[in-house]
Chains A and B, each alone.
Chain A
Amino acid sequence: MIHEPVRVGRISLAIGVLSAAIIAFELVLMQILSIVQWYHFASMIISVALLGFGASGTVLTFSAGWLLERFDRALAVLLMATGVAMSVALWCSQLQGIRFDSYLLFTGQSHIWRLLLTYLIFFVPFVLGATAIGLSFVGLSRHIGMLYCANLVGSGAGAVIIVILMWLVFPERLVGVLSLACIITGILFIPGGGLFRMVATAVSCLIPVLLFLHPPGLHVSEFKDISRALDLPGARIAHEKSSPFGLVQIVSSPALRYAPGVSLMYTQEVSASDAVFINGDWLGPVASMESAPVMGHTTSAAAYAMARRDRVLFLDAATGTDMFLALDKGSRRITAVEPNVSVMEVLETSLKSFVQQRQARPEITVLNTNSRAYLASDAQYYDLVVLPGVGSFGGSSGLFALKEQYLLTSEAFSEVWERLGPEGVMIITCWMDYPTRNPLRILATIVGVLEDRGVHDPKDYIAAVRGWATMTFVMKRSPITEDERERIRAFCSQMRFDPAMLADISAEERMRYNRLADDALFTLLDEIVSPDRDRLYESYDFAVYPATDNRPFFSQFIRLQGITNLARLFGTERVPFFELGYVIVLLTLLQVGCAAFVLIVLPLFGIGWRGENRAGVLIYFSSIAVGYMFVEIVLIHRFMLYFANPVYSASAVISVMLICSGTGSYLSTRVNVVDRSLGFILGVIILGILIASFGLSFVVQATLSIPGVVRWIAVLIIISPLCVIMGFPFPAGIMLVRRKDAGSLPWAWGINGCFSVMSAVLATIIAVEAGFTGVMLSAAGAYGLALLAYLFWFRKPSVA
């Protein structure tokens, strides 16, 4: 017979390990889906995890009695089943008949069903794990404090540990590690011993061990850049490295070449070079001085034609292709900032061989940090600042619509402006798209910066050069001189490019070598530099106003008002391909919403709703679910500015929120919030969210320059007060319902779970449409509704 404290201790440890594994599994899945598909599935994974937790409440509603009668065995089985399910889920998701492709979702119906099936497959381990946690809370409710503590500490630890493990182990193998952790923990609880224990141990350990030793191949979408590169003759993956920044792979093939929009006057060989991909998306070639002549024949070289550039800064330098152009043009002091350490290693290797061959060595500094953080802390001035390229050849069908691009916001451009010397310029190159979007938004952002600085005629400070495929914008700190304009014209003539914007440009020179079907592009560009630009922003079928830190989705263009026109011109079936990323999130909302209703709420109709305060329960528990998830999603997006990496950001925010709100939940049971101050607590939450809505951006901006590791502590300090208080309403509400309206208890849990699931995705949609401030204000509004529900339905004198 095990002493009770020892038994509770073992169960608490098991819950801690399970909680860590579940959060870790969530983050690993986000990484895996970024590799095989694209980034926008991050919110889907959060939703699926919440679906599991929500459904576990429903499971326990129907089976708690049966499970409690055989508590130890049930807990053991659930722990082991969670581990097995993690491995099986990953394996199944990669099977040919099940795996989906983002591009094929709208070319036939089968992939939509496959997407739904993928949710359900990933849902299983979460519901099993959450049921185990819930069962321990129900079965050992007298020790809820220790169990809560284990749950929240485990969750927080899991988020941190997995980030460390991602540096050491590839994501598909990590699932095996997590599986094994759950299974071994479960084995500790199998009652008795003997043959059953041995067989259960052997069978359930076999699966994750096999998965670790022979992980399922991750089937990357055939439409990803790396898939097409690997189809080339002689292509092979020469090197790969995993990290929280993603999977970096170097592909080697004699047919891989890079010459982005190179002038048709370039007649030399375009040498083959290895190429770097991150999560299967093209990042750049492994650069060398051989690429300099090619890059010298692209529109990006316009800045060097204007004037000599001694001091050059490259932000998000990637593989450094542009750096070799700067070196070729004689730049003497070059600074490259690259946040991804694996990519930085590639860059440093390329530079090393260059430096070794040269006698006159320019000063080259490569920094591994967040580009925005560097701008916030740097005090130097530059002759040229180069931003990363925008878009891709032919476009990406808007798959990156929901990716935060904090280097392409008004605030970022303003910070670059502050780093320009008196004659310094910033350049940014984009791929031409049709209908025109990228060039317009870039110009709109530049014009916004100039307007903020009191520039009356932005045209004097802006130049643009257009080739057959790319356009490069130049923003100068001072007016562009006549001399510089003539040099740009000479450069264009030599390269057979056309100037697109100059203060004294004529219509004829805009299309001398690269004609367009009409002059709509130039009309739009001219309208943006005119005082009437706001009317264009309102009337154009695409959103081209500047992106901001509050709404940093540079590649999100589609507007509801423009869809009808697009459908008419291009066909309804083609409309999703303008912005696949956004459309997929809408589809996800629909699918997880239906799944949540079916799996969480619908079964509850089987037991009926015997409660009295149905409206109050519905409003209260749905509102706090919405409010909590909205805040969480905004924080994850906002702290992307800190970390420049979604996994780090999600890990930091999720771990801090879980620990802090878990602490709050625990404290709520000690302080008797229900009878005294729940209304006050809800009011404080609303106030806290409102302050965060407007103040968070300032705090993040002000602390951007602190070192990397310290940023994790900063996140803790910044958000912990609010998160602790946000932990109060749910347990307080449950206690209220238990006391006053016990028949509504399962419904309270189910409604909360259902709305949490939908809110994770809905928050992203609102962020796109109304910015992060809009989401936070919505969160405040949701807690306001909860307050009203409390005041009108639940606030009655307590019964002794």
Chain B
Amino acid sequence: MTPSPGDRVRVERAGVTDEGVLMPSSDEEHLVLKLEGGYNVGVDRADAAVEVLEGGARDVGEDADEEGDASVVAFDDDLPTVALISTGGTIASTVDYRTGAVTARFDAEDVLRAVPDLAGRANYRGRVVANILSENMDPETWTDLAEAVREEIEAGADGVVVMHGTDTMQYSASALSFMLDTPVPVVFTGSQRSADRPSSDNVMNAVCAVEAATSDCTEVLVCMHGTPSDDHCALHRGTRVRKNHTSRRDAFETVGAEPLGRVDYDPHEDRVDVSFRERKAYARRGDTDLAVASDLAEDVELVKFTPGMDPAALDYLNGKSGVVIEGTGLGHVHTDLIPRFEALVDDGTTVVMTSQCLEGRVCDRVYDTGRDLLDAGVVEAGDTLPGTAKVKLMWALANVADSAEAMGCDLAGELTEESKPWV
């Protein structure tokens, strides 16, 4: 009988005999055995004599994690209701044996089970909008997400928490910022260190996000670690936030300003305090009625100009509705490329300039190159972040009459009128 994963087997090779449960292997050449003590070991398949001791002794692979008590959470009238919307990602993920990688496989109910610390803070409504890695996020899903948030708010949610992979969280947060007029907080959170490690940041991030979702600030926010310590989460405006580190817990930063607020965390005191910076303006409960405009023009591209760029790289922009340029410095590209952008504008494409400096605003009136770009019909996006500008242009092209004009105005906190990075 051919041994298969989950069987208890005895494997003999070169005088060493091992007994254990056969695990799925990531390559063809090795049998992987989980020994009695818990260690996994790989044995050359070709040289091994395998004897099946017990077929199907353990449940391994796809369904292994589906067990566990279904948590029945009692409804408490004194607590606010928070909708937990899952899109996949590391806050609720587990090990995939076949690839050896970490994949998302939990729904929002599982998040509750995975993060028991959420209990007692709110009544929860769980919902899965997508089960994808955040690098696979797409504009269509942003629309689904906005509609899901609408339904949850209409169903009585006092706040919404969106569990999202960190790679593209800033884009999704931007999309919802433009799509939603929300009467409740909509808080994105995730984890930088996967949930399958005891040190994961998922617990604190989720707890802080739920607390922020029950606060008075009815903005689209990103709630992630503020420092490498488990001491507080920063609350970033969805349109100003950027993942600025590949792996650190405090990878997310508000660019060009201070974060909107913070959530202090101390599990000893069972204390979680949400606070907002005094000099920041933000919408509060009662300010806004629910409205959703979730349409997007999907044919918008973000191009980064770098020295030596082949002009042919711009050819694929022909016929697009919108193009956002990530220029150098105050908003420049090589002089020779300006006619290419002029041709795009003439052809009806909205062409928008942002800066790869990230900090600061574009200003194309200072140097000749900039003035030539303005003459060519390129629109300045002020201090809007390049990624945010792309999402904004997608939204503006589908929802406002003059998208070029909209790119120069603040719609959702993405563009500041005055440069005061210390505020």
Is B truly associated with A? no
Q: Taking beta carbons and an 8 Å cutoff, which residues of B are in contact with A? A: none
Q: Taking beta carbons and an 8 Å cutoff, which residues of A are in contact with B? A: none
